[in-house]
Amino acid sequence: MDLQTPLTAASLAERLGAPWRGDGTLLITGINEIHHVRAGDLSFVDHPRYYGPALASAASVILIDQDRECPPGKALIIVPQPFTVYNQLVWDERPARDWQQAIDPSARVGQGSTIAPGARIGPGARIGQDCYIGPNATIGEGVTLGNRVVIGAGAVIGEEAFYFKRTPEGLVPWRSGGTVVLEDDVAIGANCNIARGVSSATTIGKGTKIDALVQIGHDCRIGQHCILAAQVGVAGNTTIGDWCVLQGQVGVAQNLRIGDRSILLAQSGVGKNLEGSQEYFGSPAQEAWSAFRELALLRALRKGK
């Protein structure tokens, strides 16, 4: 997420009362968790296992729980609980906002768009032209819809990410600093849930059509002109290419990449990256004809042939 008011590494360290190493003049322009960091971002690390990847990432400023040698071109701020500080910074940038009206006064609804009874449009949301928002649907804070987008009844676009930090006291939710972007001509079925990004935008590409009861996790990137049938579930931070088809009840694990023009047959379970332009089946998903041959052999073995 981008900061409304950038600040330097040294000024943040002073505000926190924390020691720092490296270049204190570096300007912090955003806050991002490790999967989406860019130059200018602040991120955090709190486990030795991840020190190397964090220090080698694109992040300019890193909250860290141990004093380490600072790589060139970066700044480290040493704090006992990096996640707690990181999460509070996100809360400071995106505080809780109370919705008093069905369409928040700060939202913008384009010409020709229809908002059905019971629908709610959150603060800072942007609805394009000729959209349809179905009954009892919710468009969350800061969500952006392109033109001619259709949202089915009861769908929730931009709920908080299902993302937690495990601590000795229990599971602490990350404050979601990201948003959701639905590009032109996207259609979302009834009772779908598309989670906002933890620190970036969950994005549904132009022309993609999503059936009812589909769950899209935080920070996912769904390509253009895809079809996702009923009860598909895509876990967080997964990227699906253009012109893909996910048939009913397909499940996709987190942090994966599925290539363009992939077809995933019904009830397949995806646990690894998949190349594009192929048809897949099974759990774990594999090339469809290979899966069918294995099933045929198993049936033959059961019959004693």
pLDDT in tens, 114-154: 999 999 999 999 999 999 999 999 999 999 999 999 999 99
Q: Are 105 and 98 in contact (CB under 8 A)?
A: no
Residue type, 198: V
DSSP run (H or E) holding 295:
helix 288-302
Q: Are 245 and 225 in contact (CB under 8 A)?
A: no
Which band of pLDDT confidence, cut at 50, 70 and 90, is reported for residue 290? confident
Catalytic (active site) residue 36: no
Domains in the chain with CATH codes: 2-93 (3.40.1390.10), 108-291 (2.160.10.10)
The Cα 76–Cα 71 span in angstroms is 9
Least confident stretch, 2-6, 96-100, 107-111: 96-100
In the set 36, 47, 218, 225, the catalytic residue is 218
The Cα 179–Cα 197 span in angstroms is 5
Q: Are 44 and 64 in contact (CB under 8 A)?
A: yes
β 61-64/41-45 pair status: parallel
Q: Are 240 and 234 in contact (CB under 8 A)?
A: yes
Which band of pLDDT confidence, cut at 50, 70 and 90, is reported for residue 305? low
Least confident stretch, 96-100, 181-185, 200-204, 243-247: 96-100
Reported as a single tens digit per residue, the pLDDT across 211-224 is 999 999 999 999 99
State yes or no: pLDDT of 303 exceeds 80: no
For the beta sheet containing 239-240, the strands, ordered from the edge strand earlier in sequence to the opposite edge, are 108-109, 126-127, 144-145, 179-182, 201-204, 221-222, 239-240, 257-258
